[in-house]
Amino acid sequence: MKFRSSDLSLKLFFSLIIAAVLLTLFLYDAGYYLAGSGLGYEMEFELLGVRAVENYESEYDRVFMASGSLIALAFQMLLFYAIIFLSGSRYLLGFLFFPPVYRMFPYLIGLLNHDIIISQSEYLLSSYYGLPFWLMPGGMLLLFAALTVHARVKTGLSWKRFFQGILFSLLTAVMLMLGINILR
């Protein structure tokens, strides 16, 4: 089945990317929420985020909660990779497009403001375990990129449509984040 701009399939493809962006944002925060609740913290949902009501008791607690959000994203990637691999459905590729974009977006912004980088989950894990800073973000990006590109090859989606999907997921996320920050 080929995508055509007048086709319902193209609208479905981009609609599912919007759903993927929303699901990714929810899963990331849900992982953080579950990890914090598991440690006994009272957690609070906010627009585009979750936070512990009280201060962390230890650095381990902070790192454990940060790893919960990364585990949730890895779960999403592996789940949808398996579904795409078994079904061959190109419509679900949006669920693989956005998680790597979402995790690398703060690092791009962090080039302007270093405080953003040191608050990221991968950075916290790397520094806690004494690993090189680049190892966790680089490892996550390589894993996510390998799964996404392999799924693209498996479904036969063109490179043009592949990059359009990635750019559309990025644009959707930026618009969503800007909209939420304006509402705050």
Q: Is residue 93 assigned to a domain?
A: yes
- Give me the number of domains the chain comprises: 1
Residue pair 77/55 in contact by the 8 Å Cβ criterion: no
Q: Is residue 179 assigned to a domain?
A: yes
41 CB neighbour count, 10 Å cutoff: 19
Q: Is residue 167 assigned to a domain?
A: yes
Predicted confidence (pLDDT) per residue in 73-88, tens digit: 888 888 888 888 888 8
Q: Which of 78, 1, 63 has the alpha carbon at shortest distance from 32?
A: 63
Q: Is residue 1 assigned to a domain?
A: no
pTM confidence score: 0.76
Q: Is residue 152 assigned to a domain?
A: yes
Containing structural domain, residue 36 = 8-183
Q: Is residue 2 assigned to a domain?
A: no
172 CB neighbour count, 10 Å cutoff: 19
Residue pair 179/42 in contact by the 8 Å Cβ criterion: no
Residue pair 86/63 in contact by the 8 Å Cβ criterion: no
For 47, residues 6+ apart whose C-beta sits below 8 A from its C-beta are: 180, 183, 184
Cβ-based burial of 177 (10 A; exposed 0-12, middle 13-18, buried ≥19): middle
Predicted confidence (pLDDT) per residue in 7-31, tens digit: 567 778 778 888 888 888 888 888 8
Q: Is residue 57 assigned to a domain?
A: yes
Predicted confidence (pLDDT) per residue in 130-173, tens digit: 989 888 888 888 888 888 888 888 888 888 888 888 888 778 87
Predicted confidence (pLDDT) per residue in 29-64, tens digit: 888 899 989 988 888 887 667 888 888 888 888 888
Q: Is residue 70 assigned to a domain?
A: yes
